[in-house]
């Protein structure tokens, strides 16, 4: 089983590092069975994040045939600014990623029954911009929820949304909750609880799934 965490230019470091560390600790707890790696769409090598020039290094190329998880982070950058004037706002960074060679690879991942595509923060918005998750249930950073809905996604206000082979999480720190939920899905609650204890962090909120009763308006 693999957990490939995708890097792209302008990525948000915490979106990447939170699930990367949680999944790595989970991998240790199952004797190393889960191979956690940082990947890029084109080639291995350093990738510059959107925060103060922090650089992380992809050690492999994104491979949609590897069974397990693919985690797509969001972007870090200014929110305001005129894209026409060249401002590299978060939506611009996400849209740029949505036009790279990562998109056909992620499309293949959705078609692979052994892969679950997961996103943190604006990662879901990037996939939505590329038209990959139209009609699906998903969440993104709270500031991007209107744009997410405008792309034709059923936006859900929850920290983590489980839509089968698409598991999405809200802003930034929700990457911790995503990582813990993926561990629970794959290996069970004893593994995710062991990582919670190590990280001194309890997963927050209810994981939303499109199932069960609808709440009556109160």
Partner 1 sequence: MTAIAGIWDVELKTPIGSLAVVYTFVDTDGAPAGTANGRGETVPLHDIVVDDVAGGEHVTWRQSVTKPMRLNLDFDVTVAGDSLSGHSRAGKLPRTRVTGTRRAA
Q: Tell me: does residue 27 bind partner 1 (CB under 8 A).
A: no
The SS3 call for residue 96 is helix
User: 175 CB contacts (<8 Å, ≥6 apart)?
Assistant: 14, 15, 16, 17, 18, 19, 22, 73, 120, 121, 169
* Cβ closest to partner 1, residue 17 vs residue 147: 147
Q: In angstroms, rounded to a whole number, what is the distance separating the alpha carbons of residues 140 and 147?
A: 10
Q: How far is the CB of 150 from partner 1 (least distance, A)?
A: 3
Q: How far is the CB of 119 from partner 1 (least distance, A)?
A: 15
Contacting residue, 16, 72, 98, 207, with partner 1 by CB under 8 A: 98
Q: For residue 137, how many C-alpha atoms fall within 13 Å in the half-sphere facing its CB?
A: 16
Contacting residue, 74, 91, 170, 175, with partner 1 by CB under 8 A: 91
Q: In angstroms, rounded to a whole number, what is the distance separating the alpha carbons of residues 159 and 5?
A: 19
Contacting residue, 35, 92, 194, 198, with partner 1 by CB under 8 A: 92
Site string for partner 1, 115-154 (x = CB under 8 A): -------------xxxx--x-----------xx-xxxx--
The SS3 call for residue 163 is coil
Size of the site for partner 1 (CB under 8 A): 18
* Cβ closest to partner 1, residue 56 vs residue 139: 139
């Amino acid at each position: 089983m693999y957990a490939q965490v995708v890097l792209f230019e302008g990525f948000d470091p915490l979106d990447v590092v939170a699930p990367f560390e949680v999944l790595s600790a989970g991998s240790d707890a199952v004797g190393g069975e889960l191979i956690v790696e940082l990947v890029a769409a084109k080639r291995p090598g350093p990738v510059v994040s959107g925060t103060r020039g922090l650089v992380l290094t992809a050690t492999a190329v994104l491979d949609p045939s590897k069974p397990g998880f693919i985690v797509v982070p969001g972007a870090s950058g200014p929110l305001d600014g005129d894209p026409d004037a060249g401002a590299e706002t978060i939506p611009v960074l996400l849209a740029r990623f949505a036009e790279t060679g990562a998109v056909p690879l992620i499309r293949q991942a959705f078609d692979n029954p052994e892969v679950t595509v997961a996103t943190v923060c604006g990662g879901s918005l990037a996939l939505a911009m590329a038209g990959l998750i139209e009609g699906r249930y998903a969440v993104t950073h709270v500031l991007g929820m209107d744009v997410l809905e405008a792309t034709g996604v059923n936006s859900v206000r929850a920290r983590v949304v489980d839509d089968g082979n698409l598991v999405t999480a809200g802003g930034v720190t929700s990457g911790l909750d995503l990582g813990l939920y993926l561990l629970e899905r794959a290996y069970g609650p004893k593994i995710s609880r062991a990582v919670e204890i190590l990280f001194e962090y309890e997963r927050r909120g209810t994981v939303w799934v499109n199932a069960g009763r609808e709440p009556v308006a109160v």
